[in-house]
Amino acid sequence: MPQPLQPLSPQLIDDLVFAALEEDGAFDDVTTRALVQPDQWGHGYFIAKDDGVIAGLPIAAAAMTAIDEDVSFDTLVEDGFRVAPGEQLVEVEGPLVAILACERVALNYLQRLSGIASLTRAYVAAVAHTKARILDTRKTTPGLRHLERYAVRAGGGYNHRLNLSAGVLIKDNHIAAARLRGLDDLEAVVTQARNEAPHTLRIEIEVTSVEELREALAGRPDIILLDNMGIDAMRQCVEITDGHALLEASGGISLDTVRAIAETGVDFVSVGRLTHSAPAMDISLEIGAT
């Protein structure tokens, strides 16, 4: 992994797990209560059914042990590790009532986050021969942004700004609104943002053409986002910018196109589908009595 994984906040994990268990009715699992004795003990394994990269073990552990602390959750791999189909990921043991009640929530988190990490790793591998970093976006599941961005890091990617307060990113609708108040060119838009925003924040602006890039460069932004540009236009933008601003490519970037985009010389490639369209990794819990 290219960067160390910073742990998730324990309070965040506790809050999300409790809400998810409440939503799933885990504290009143009528099926399990009808069929399983209160003192019945169980043992089993989380098993990968797909090839992929694991992410979400800390929150899966919190989910599995939330109802009964006697449940043990012993990890056999770590977040960020690539696994093969059939590989055992976690060994669980404890009161079967609690294990069965928490199983779905733990798996949902682990499958979702591992899917994001796996897709991210594929993008990272595709551009490994270039200087470009793969970034996520704010296109995350409401309430799960911290988890999903953790999964991107587990896959070897990097995080863009966390939220709207974490950086200035001037997009097309901001530019349209600025024009309504008389800021007629991108140089003026960048200058206005720099004058009004906290001095500790970098200024990024979105452009859609080489002409707009030239206009924006006059305002000396820190980063320029190249939105839905073709390969030739991106190469031209890299040449014109000549290191005077960082360049980020964005807009409908797939695994089929990311390599060529990174090879233009851009610094970053942001990919919304890492979090909004990653397929869940197939993982199951196979249990048996002890």
- Tell me, yes or no, whether 148 and 255 share the same domain: yes
Report yes or no on 2 lying in a domain: no
Q: Do 109 and 213 have their domain in common?
A: no
Instruction: Say what percent of the chain tops pLDDT 90.
Output: 96
Do residue 201 and residue 97 come from a single domain? no
Contacts of 86 (CB under 8 A, 6+ apart): 47, 48, 49
Residue 12 amino acid letter:
L
Same domain? For 137 and 261 the reply is yes
171 and 229 together in one domain: yes
Residues 90, 222: one domain?
no
3 within a domain of the structure (yes/no): no
* Residue 81 confidence (pLDDT) above 70: yes
pLDDT of 116: 98
Q: Please write the tens of the pLDDT for every residue from 34-68.
A: 999 999 999 999 999 999 999 999 999 999 999 99
Q: Supply the residues annotated as catalytic.
A: 104, 139, 171, 206, 227
- The answer to whether position 142 is within a domain reads yes
Band (pLDDT 50/70/90 cuts) for residue 2 is very low
Specify the long-range contacts of residues 16-22, CB closer than 8 Å, at least 24 apart. Answer: 16/59, 16/143, 16/144, 16/147, 17/59, 17/62, 17/63, 17/66, 17/105, 18/66, 20/63, 20/105, 20/108, 20/109, 21/63, 21/66, 21/67, 21/101, 21/102, 21/105
Report the predicted TM-score, pTM, of the whole model to 2 decimal places. 0.95
CATH number of the CATH domain containing 78? 3.90.1170.20
- In-domain check, residue 4: no
CATH number of the domain that residue 173 is part of: 3.20.20.70
Contact between residue 63 and residue 106 where contact means Cβ atoms under 8 Å apart: yes
In a domain, 168, yes or no: yes
- Domain identity same for 66 and 52: yes
The predicted structure's pLDDT at residue 182: 95
Let me know if 100 is exposed, middle or buried by CB neighbors in 10 A (0-12, 13-18, 19+).
Answer: buried
CA distance linking residue 286 with residue 81, whole number of Å: 21
| Residue 261 domain flag | yes
Both 102 and 137 in one domain: the answer is no
Residue 104 sits in the same domain as residue 134: no
For residues 225 and 266, what is the distance between their CA atoms, to the nearest angstrom? 10
The answer to whether position 135 is within a domain reads yes
pLDDT at 210 over 90: yes
Q: In this structure, are 271 and 193 located in the same domain?
A: yes
Do 74 and 2 contact (CB within 8 A), yes or no? no
**Does residue 108 fall inside a structural domain?**
yes
Q: What is the pLDDT of residues 82-122, one digit of tens each?
A: 999 999 999 999 999 999 999 999 999 999 999 999 999 99
According to the model, what pLDDT value does residue 6 have? 87
Domain holding 186, by residue range, is 125-276
Domains in the chain, number: 2
Same-domain status, 162 and 56: no
User: Could you report the per-residue pLDDT of 116-129, keeping only the tens digit for each?
Assistant: 999 999 999 999 99
Same domain, 175 and 56: no
